[in-house]
C-alpha cells in the first residue's frame, strides 16, 4: 500500500480489528449496488470513500428534481442524466481509486444471475418487491451475501443474509404472494431516515467484506424514526420457502430447518 493510500484510509486502518489487513481485503473486494436512489446514494458513497476495490452500480432511471431531497449522490446540475453516470462522476471525485462500473439497465431474472455471480456482495437498494425477490433468488443461487434495506415515511428496516443454503433468506421474511409495493412517490419519505438505513447497509457490507465484527445475518432491525425507536427481530427460515430449498438442493446442503415462518420474537 502506498503512502497516499495509508493516509487516505488511516482512520480506519487505526481500528485494531480492521488494520492494513481489513483495508487490503476491502480493496480486493467488489460489490453490486442495485438502485442508485435514496439508499444507494449513501451506500455507494461510503463504500467508495472507504476504499472498496470495485463497485458495480445498476439503475435504469435518470435524475429527477424530486429525487434530490434524499438521493444525495446526485446534484441539481445532473438532472436528466442517467443516475448511474451521475453517481459514477460523484464517486470519481470522491475517490478516483475505486473502479466504478455504471450499468444503465433494468435487472431481470436473465441478467441478474450474471451480475450477482460477478461480485463478492450485493446491496439491495431498490424500491420494489419484484426486484427484491429476484435479487434474493440470484444471491441465494450464487451463494453471495446480501444486505437489504428499505424505507418509507419515517420507517426503515435493514437486514443481511449470508447467501448460504438453509436460509433464512429475504423470501422467508416476505412470501412472494401478497407482497404489495408501497412507494415513496405515493407515501412520502423523510430524507435522513433513508440515510440512516443506507449507512447501516454500508457498515454491514464493509464488516462482511473486511471480516470485521458480527454481521447482521438473520436479524432484522426495524426503525420507527417518529419515536426514534429501534426493534430487533430474529429471522427464521420458512420451511416452505422455494428459494431456500432450491439453494439447499443446488449446493447439496441441508434442507431448511423446520421452524415457524417469517418473523421470530425480538
Ligand atoms: Zn428463504
Express each pLDDT in 205-224 by its tens digit: 999 999 999 999 999 999 99
- Grid cell, residue 116, equals 450477482
CA distance 66 to 241: 37
Residue 87 has pLDDT above 70, yes or no: yes
Burial 24-34 (b: 16+ CB within 10 A, else e): bbbbebbbbbb
User: What distance in angstroms lies between residue 170's CA and the mean position of ligand 1's atoms?
Assistant: 6
Report, as an integer, the average pLDDT of 6-22: 95
User: What distance in angstroms lies between residue 216's CA and the mean position of ligand 1's atoms?
Assistant: 16
Band (pLDDT 50/70/90 cuts) for residue 252 is low
Report, as an integer, the average pLDDT of 162-188: 82
Q: Which residues does 11 contact at the CB level (< 8 Å), separation at least 6?
A: none
Report, as an integer, the average pLDDT of 14-22: 96
Residue 261 has pLDDT above 50, yes or no: no
Residue 257 has pLDDT above 60, yes or no: no
- Grid cell, residue 18, equals 480492521
> What is the average pLDDT value for the chain, to the nearest integer?
91
User: What distance in angstroms lies between residue 195's CA and the mean position of ligand 1's atoms?
Assistant: 27
Residues with CB under 5 A from ligand 1 (ion): 167, 169, 171-172, 241, 243-244
User: What distance in angstroms lies between residue 117's CA and the mean position of ligand 1's atoms?
Assistant: 19
**Is the domain defined by 3-159+189-216 classed in CATH 3.40.50.12160?**
no
The pTM of this model reads 0.92
- C-alpha triplet 76, 72, 109: angle, nearest 5°: 105
Residue 143 has pLDDT above 60, yes or no: yes
Residue 197 has pLDDT above 90, yes or no: yes
Amino acid at each position: 500500500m502506498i503512502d497516499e493510500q495509508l493516509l487516505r484510509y488511516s482512520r480506519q486502518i487505526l481500528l485494531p480489528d480492521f488494520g492494513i489487513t481489513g483495508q487490503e481485503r476491502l480493496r480486493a473486494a467488489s460489490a453490486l449496488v442495485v438502485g442508485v436512489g435514496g439508499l444507494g446514494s449513501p451506500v455507494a458513497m461510503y463504500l467508495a470513500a472507504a476504499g472498496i476495490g470495485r463497485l458495480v452500480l445498476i439503475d435504469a432511471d435518470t435524475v429527477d428534481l424530486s429525487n434530490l431531497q434524499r438521493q444525495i449522490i446526485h446534484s441539481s446540475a445532473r438532472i436528466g442524466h442517467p443516475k448511474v453516470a451521475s453517481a459514477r462522476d460523484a464517486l470519481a471525485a470522491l475517490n478516483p481509486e475505486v473502479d466504478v462500473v455504471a450499468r444503465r439497465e433494468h435487472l431481470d431474472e436473465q441478467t441478474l444471475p450474471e451480475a450477482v455471480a460477478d461480485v463478492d456482495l450485493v446491496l439491495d437498494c431498490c424500491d420494489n418487491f419484484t426486484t427484491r425477490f429476484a435479487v434474493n433468488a440470484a444471491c441465494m443461487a450464487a451463494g453471495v451475501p446480501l444486505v437489504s434495506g428499505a424505507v418509507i415515511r419515517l420507517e426503515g428496516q435493514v437486514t443481511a443474509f449470508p447467501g448460504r443454503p438453509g436460509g433464512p433468506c429475504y423470501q422467508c421474511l416476505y412470501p412472494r404472494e401478497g407482497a404489495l409495493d408501497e412507494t415513496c412517490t405515493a407515501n412520502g419519505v423523510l430524507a435522513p431516515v433513508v440515510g440512516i438505513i443506507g449507512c447501516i447497509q454500508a457498515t454491514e457490507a464493509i464488516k462482511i467484506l473486511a471480516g470485521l465484527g458480527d454481521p447482521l445475518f438473520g436479524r432484522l432491525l426495524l426503525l420507527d424514526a417518529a419515536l426514534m425507536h429501534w426493534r430487533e427481530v430474529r429471522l427464521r427460515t420458512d420451511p416452505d420457502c422455494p428459494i431456500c430449498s432450491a439453494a439447499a438442493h443446488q449446493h447439496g446442503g441441508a434442507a431448511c430447518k423446520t421452524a415457524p415462518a417469517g418473523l421470530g420474537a425480538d
